[in-house]
Amino acid sequence: MNAHRSFTIAAVLAASLSAGALQPAFAQEAENPPRQTWSFHGPFGTYDPGQLQRGFKIYREVCSNCHSMKLVAFRNLADPGGPQFSEPQAAAIASSFQVTAGPNDQGEMYQRPGKLADYFPPPFPNDQAARNANGGAVPPDMSVLAKARGFEVGFPWFIFNMFTQYQEQGPDYIHGILTGYEDPPPAGASVAPGKQYNKYFPGHAISMPKPLSDGQVEYTDGTPATVDQYAKDVSAFLMWAAEPKLDQRKRLGFQVFIFLIVLTGLLYFTKKKVWHDVHHPEVA
Amino acid sequence: MSAHSTYKPQNPVMQWLERRLPIAGLVYSSFIVYPTPRNLNYWWTFGGILTFMLGAQMVTGIVLAMHYTPHVDLAFNSVESIMRDVNYGWLLRYLHANGASFFFVAVYAHIIRGMYYGSYKEPREVLWILGVILFLLMVVTGFMGYVLPWGQMRLWAATVITNLFSAIPGVGDPIVTWLWGGFAVGNPTLNRFYSLHYLLPFVIVGVVVLHIWALHMVGQNNPTGVEAKTEKDTVAFTPYATVKDAFFIGVFCLFLAWFVFYIPNYLGHSDNYIPANPGQTPTHIVPEWYYLPFYAILRAIPSKLLGVIALLASIVLLAFLPWLDTSRVRSANYRPLYRQFLIVFFLAVVGLGYLGSQPPEGGYVIAARILTAYYFVFLLVILPLLGLFETTKPLPNSISEAVLPPGAATPTAGAKV
């Protein structure tokens, strides 16, 4: 078979050329953060309100000192599919924050306790102030941070992720950063002054000082007060902040699948019936 | 859309209307009794799927437009407010974003089918060219829509793509300034992208009407590539094609739903959840997956101008397929050599897609050059020569001879309606 041979030769040639060419490029793989178990993974995953409440506590006591979360409102804390604080609890949380309001009748801006409709107030009045207070780096806003971070898994893993519904690169990455500090840095790694060594940060030199240490935030529900647990809880909380409709999405998705499978099944059998005589003509 | 309608309405109101505006007759002749080859496989359902996706994109898009704000300071947050505060806004947005990807899945399947079965050949040249125009319009529309939520990669993609025009000798820079409406990608750019993103789908609808009109003039191709000759070769569009299309639209929606509900951000880039920042360039600028092969071709060529020309040529050359392909046999099923080269061509495009997602350095560039070379050699050298030298397999005399057992008396399927 002439055709087959030429095809085989062409294919083998192309494959070997490409493979040879690609090899050096694969050498410089960075280490990806390890995968964690998340309650919101998979088709039936939902947020764990307890975990989100703990995560919120960490955000409030630690992260919010430097990181804004401008797109999340206090009312969201009481939304279904979220941390599920009661409305009075959320209102109480809101009133413990001071927000800038105004201008009033005298034309002045003023501070007042937050209300449910208010958004989380930023720790700095503007990016310049934030940069100035943080050694030249602006702490990123945390509203959609869990969807704004990720890492390449490379071929063929990205294909498998399509089927396993792996969508948690963001929280895995944040958990990795929070647990990836190494002090002193490993041998051979040099870290500029004002930077810290972090195993999972691209380039390894991160401006944020190690934010969490064991026992730093008090848990009242018996959950271990470890950096690893803190990192998991706050990553889950940030995933909720970034994707507050995840529970609703997956629930509706299941209903849509049931509907589509039934509809498509019926259409399949209708098609079979309609086409039967075309595919099975009577033989004269 | 054929000239003679066999539509004879019984209802007096319809008779009255038919004498004044024969629209019911047009629908009847185009979508009910229209003869369609009996041997079409599922690759032929993508035309229907594309029509469905165009409608779905327009419906979700029009509602999204009610909530979106085309301003550089507000666009990102307006999209986030759609995700958070608009009722089912997250669903509309994920449907529209993933819908765009699936629109391209369908159009690539449609193009693959056309190339494999030689659907571009005489007398379907105009039909095919209209298809290439539709694909170009889709590329432009999709790109402009991609930019609208004003995330990091979106801004920088807009910068890279508009900058391609600067490669035009002499007038490049003034053209780019004119396109931007300023001296950098900014608010005027975003505004006109929004305006055009809303306009172009209606242009697409217009060209789709021409595309379907041309299709109904010449009739559908089929897996044998042999024209339908007798009534035995065809079945009526309704119910046969409609129920088959409907079934496969259902299957297609299952795949779409998997992405929309379970992995809505799988096809997107995480940098797009960072608001656009003109002061900070991302490490690697990559387009959406459906442009990656063309992006790889662009970057494979060291000269910017030649790269842009190659990028354009890679799409525009497809319009010349009816004349580049010299073979008189349509279907690859009867062209063993063409079939092999064509499959390698499709694999090369997939390979280019992968390389387009990788940084343009080292081995990736070399591989991209090899595959780009094959892309153009296939279209410009292999296709014209193959038609002259290839020994093709014998064609069946008719569609019914190819698919029916010998001596089969066909129930006149077309007459059953």
Taking CB atoms and an 8 Å limit, are A14 and B348 in contact across chains? Answer: yes
- Rounded to 5°, angle at Cα B123 from B103 and B342: 55
Residue A283 has pLDDT above 80, yes or no: no
Taking CB atoms and an 8 Å limit, are B273 and A148 in contact across chains? Answer: yes
Taking CB atoms and an 8 Å limit, are A281 and B405 in contact across chains? Answer: yes
Best probe of the B interface among A256, A258, A269, A272, by most B CBs < 10 A, is: A256
B137-149: average pLDDT:
98
For a pLDDT cut of 70, what percent of chain B falls above it? 96
Question: Cα separation of B152 and B162, whole Å?
Answer: 16
Supply the pLDDT for residue A280: 85
Question: Cα separation of B378 and B372, whole Å?
Answer: 10
Q: Give contacts of A143 with chain B, Cβ < 8 Å.
A: 80
Q: When comparing pLDDT for B137 and B8, which is higher?
A: B137
Q: Give contacts of A161 with chain B, Cβ < 8 Å.
A: 263, 266
User: What is the enclosing helix (H) or strand (E) of B35?
Assistant: strand B35-37
How close is the nearest chain B Cα to the Cα of A3, in Å? Answer: 5
Residue A4 has pLDDT above 70, yes or no: no
How close is the nearest chain B Cα to the Cα of A131, in Å? Answer: 15
Residue A184 preceded by cis peptide, ω within 30 = yes
Question: Of the candidates B115, B110, B111, which has an alpha carbon nearest to the alpha carbon of residue B378?
Answer: B115
Question: Cα separation of B96 and B99, whole Å?
Answer: 5
How close is the nearest chain A Cα to the Cα of B44, in Å? Answer: 15
Q: Give contacts of A139 with chain B, Cβ < 8 Å.
A: none
Supply the pLDDT for residue A258: 98
Q: Could you give phi then psi for residue B35, rounded to 5 degrees?
A: -75, 130
CB B2 within 8 A of CB B364: no
In this prediction, residue B137 has a pLDDT band, given cuts at 50, 70 and 90, of: very high
Taking CB atoms and an 8 Å limit, are A253 and B260 in contact across chains? Answer: yes
Taking CB atoms and an 8 Å limit, are A17 and B367 in contact across chains? Answer: yes
Q: Give contacts of A264 with chain B, Cβ < 8 Å.
A: 247, 250-251, 253-254
Domain boundaries, chain B: 30-280, 286-396
pLDDT in tens, A84-107: 999 999 999 999 999 999 999 999
How close is the nearest chain A Cα to the Cα of B363, in Å? Answer: 4
Residue B277 has pLDDT above 70, yes or no: yes
Q: Give contacts of A144 with chain B, Cβ < 8 Å.
A: 80, 273
Question: Of the candidates B307, B281, B279, B313, which has an alpha carbon nearest to the alpha carbon of residue B295?
Answer: B307
Q: What residue type is A8 in one-letter code?
A: T
CB B380 within 8 A of CB B310: no
Using DSSP bridges, classify how beta strands A196-197 and A205-206 pair: parallel, antiparallel or unpaired: antiparallel
Question: Of the candidates B52, B54, B59, B98, which has an alpha carbon nearest to the alpha carbon of residue B259?
Answer: B98
How close is the nearest chain B Cα to the Cα of A142, in Å? Answer: 10
Q: What crossing angle do the helices spanning B336-356 and B89-116 adopt, rounded to 10°?
A: 150
Query: How would DSSP label each residue in chain A?
Result: -HHHHHHHHHHHHHHHHHHHHHGGGGGGPPPPPPP---TT-STT----HHHHHHHHHHHHHTGGGT---TT-BGGGGGSTTTT---HHHHHHHHHTSEEEE---TTS--EEEE--TTSBPPPSSSSHHHHHHHTTT-PPPP-SSHHHH------TTHHHHHHHHT---HHHHHHHHHHH-B-SSPPTT----TT-EEBTTSTTSEESS-----TTSS--SSS----HHHHHHHHHHHHHHHH-TTHHHHHHHHHHHHHHHHHHHHHHHHHHHHHHHHHHSPPB-
Closest residue in B to A241 (Cα) is B84
Supply the pLDDT for residue A154: 87
CB A119 within 8 A of CB A73: yes
Q: What is the reported pTM?
A: 0.92
Supply the pLDDT for residue A1: 39
Supply the pLDDT for residue A51: 98
Q: When comparing pLDDT for A14 and B318, which is higher?
A: B318
Distance in Å from the first CA to the final CA of chain B:
18
* B286-396 has the same fold as B30-280: no
Residue B93 has pLDDT above 60, yes or no: yes
Question: Of the candidates B178, B182, B140, B145, which has an alpha carbon nearest to the alpha carbon of residue B161?
Answer: B140
A220-237: average pLDDT:
97
Domain B286-396 annotated CATH 1.10.287.980:
yes
Best probe of the B interface among A75, A258, A275, A282, by most B CBs < 10 A, is: A275
Closest residue in A to B38 (Cα) is A278
In this prediction, residue A30 has a pLDDT band, given cuts at 50, 70 and 90, of: low
| A222 class by beta-carbon count within 10 Å (0-12 exposed, 13-18 middle, 19+ buried) | exposed
Residue B8 has pLDDT above 50, yes or no: yes
Query: How would DSSP label each residue in A271-282?
Result: HHHHHHHHHSPP
DSSP for residue B72? T
Q: Give contacts of B90 with chain A, Cβ < 8 Å.
A: 245, 248-249
In this complex, the residue of A11, A24, A278 whose CB is nearest that of residue B240 is A278
Question: Cα separation of B138 and A151, whole Å?
Answer: 30
Residue whose tokens read 């792996």: A166
Count of C-beta atoms within a 10 Å radius of residue B174: 12
In this complex, the residue of A25, A165, A270 whose CB is nearest that of residue B361 is A25
Closest residue in B to A151 (Cα) is B270
Q: Give contacts of B265 with chain A, Cβ < 8 Å.
A: 147, 167
Give bridge partners of residue B151 from the DSSP assignment: B275
How close is the nearest chain B Cα to the Cα of A145, in Å? Answer: 7
Q: Give contacts of A259 with chain B, Cβ < 8 Å.
A: none
How close is the nearest chain B Cα to the Cα of A98, in Å? Answer: 23
Q: What residue type is B234 in one-letter code?
A: T
| Helix residue spans in B335-389 (DSSP H) | 336-356, 362-377, 383-389
**No. of helices (H) and no. of strands (E), chain B:** 17, 2
Supply the pLDDT for residue A229: 98
Question: Cα separation of B238 and B34, whole Å?
Answer: 8
Best probe of the B interface among A168, A264, A269, A279, by most B CBs < 10 A, is: A264
CB B160 within 8 A of CB B87: no
Closest residue in A to B336 (Cα) is A3
Query: How would DSSP label each residue in A41-62?
Result: -STT----HHHHHHHHHHHHHT
DSSP for residue B151? B
Count of C-beta atoms within a 10 Å radius of residue B109: 17
| Helix residue spans in B164-300 (DSSP H) | 172-180, 187-218, 242-257, 292-300
pLDDT in tens, B280-332: 999 899 999 999 999 999 999 999 999 999 999 999 999 999 999 999 999 99
Query: How would DSSP label each residue in B264-302?
Result: TTTTS-GGGGSBP-TT---SS----GGGHHHHHHHHHSS
Residue whose tokens read 């501070």: A111
Taking CB atoms and an 8 Å limit, are B257 and A150 in contact across chains? Answer: no
Residue A14 has pLDDT above 50, yes or no: no
User: What is the enclosing helix (H) or strand (E) of B127?
Assistant: helix B125-147
For B135-148, give one letter per residue: b (16+ CB within 10 A) or e: bbbbbbbbbbbbbb
ipTM of the complex: 0.92
Q: Give contacts of B87 with chain A, Cβ < 8 Å.
A: none
In this complex, the residue of A21, A260, A267 whose CB is nearest that of residue B363 is A21
Give Dmax over CA atoms of chain B in angstroms: 74
Taking CB atoms and an 8 Å limit, are A268 and B246 in contact across chains? Answer: no
Taking CB atoms and an 8 Å limit, are A271 and B243 in contact across chains? Answer: yes
Give Cα B393 distance to the centre of its chain: 31
Taking CB atoms and an 8 Å limit, are B80 and A143 in contact across chains? Answer: yes
Question: Cα separation of A230 and A238, whole Å?
Answer: 12
Question: Cα separation of B42 and B181, whole Å?
Answer: 46
In this prediction, residue B186 has a pLDDT band, given cuts at 50, 70 and 90, of: very high
Give bridge partners of residue B408 from the DSSP assignment: A283
CB pairs under 8 A between A and B: 158
Taking CB atoms and an 8 Å limit, are B235 and A278 in contact across chains? Answer: yes
In this prediction, residue B65 has a pLDDT band, given cuts at 50, 70 and 90, of: very high
In this prediction, residue A281 has a pLDDT band, given cuts at 50, 70 and 90, of: confident
How close is the nearest chain A Cα to the Cα of B347, in Å? Answer: 10
As a CATH number, domain B30-280 is: 1.20.810.10
CB A238 within 8 A of CB A142: yes
Supply the pLDDT for residue B283: 87
In this complex, the residue of B246, B257, B374 whose CB is nearest that of residue A267 is B246
